[in-house]
Amino acid sequence: MASSHRKPRSTGSRIAGIWTPAADDGDPRLGEVEKKIDDLYRQADSATERDNAAKRTQKINSVRRKPSSFTATPHDHYDQAQLMSRLTARRKDAVAAHLTERSTTAGKHQEATVSLQAPDDTQSDPRTAKATVQKKLSTARALLSQSAARQQRQEAAAALARQAVAFARAQVGKPYVVGAAGPGSYDCSGLAQAAWKAAGVTLPRGTTDQANAGTTISLADAQPGDLVFFHDDSSHVGVYVGDGMVIHALKPGTYVREESVHYGGMSVIHSVVRPA
């Protein structure tokens, strides 16, 4: 089996024979981002409702302050009662109209989002509230854009991994030959290299270099296409195909085959690396 000089290993910890990477707090998962965006939308709804409530209060106060054209006299008691009744009815209609407007507005979807910061007291001013909602809408849209881009990258990587797995599976039954990288025979690192080359990804030739040519993950998080390295010196590699199975060229006298990733016991598994 071909091998090259060892390079510094990816940052992580060794647990039960498996290297696990350090956490990447700067890259939240899609579900976390979506939850954060949902929280921002709820905050924006609250800010928008305060804006609407302030406007309704201003309108109602304006109606109440509107001077009446009616002037009562001792001699017009009957007319005064009629006009007062009309004025009261007019004010009731204005209040009812604003209450109806509030009910209708509450039933509509508010397309407004807010930033990660909680709204402050200045939002009692309708103009300030509107500006805050617009600013936070831009923030949430940026988060959505970032989430969509991240998802697209993940889908593209998964597509490449499927191509690598399909190639490896097509080689099952071909003989193991030391130093071979196809197409008629392979050694372990030659098979891994050829599989990912079929997906358009270039890997180093030796197992030691391949073990440092991607992102180290835990075996529990392994996905089809990941490379599983065995033994303390990473001297053997196989292509993970899912469901706890790996395709590899094991040793001279054998053929490329698909079998359990635990074929040699848990202790021989060294690490798992995701090339793409």
75, 98, 109, 236: the catalytic one is 236
Cis peptide before 21 (omega within 30 of 0): no
Would you call 5 a catalytic residue per the annotation? Answer: no
75, 248, 262, 270: the catalytic one is 248
5, 75, 188, 262: the catalytic one is 188
**Assign residue 27 a region: left if phi > 0, alpha if psi is -120 to 50, beta otherwise?**
beta
CA torsion sign for 178, 179, 182, 188 is positive
Helix, strand, coil shares of the chain as percentages rounded to 5?
50, 15, 35
What b-and-e string marks burial along 51-74, b requiring 16 or more CB atoms within 10 Å of the CB?
bbebebeeebeeeeeeeeeeeeee
What is the token pair recorded at 64? Answer: 């109440």
Would you call 188 a catalytic residue per the annotation? Answer: yes
DSSP letter for 172, please: T
Would you call 248 a catalytic residue per the annotation? Answer: yes
- Please identify every residue annotated as catalytic: 188, 236, 248
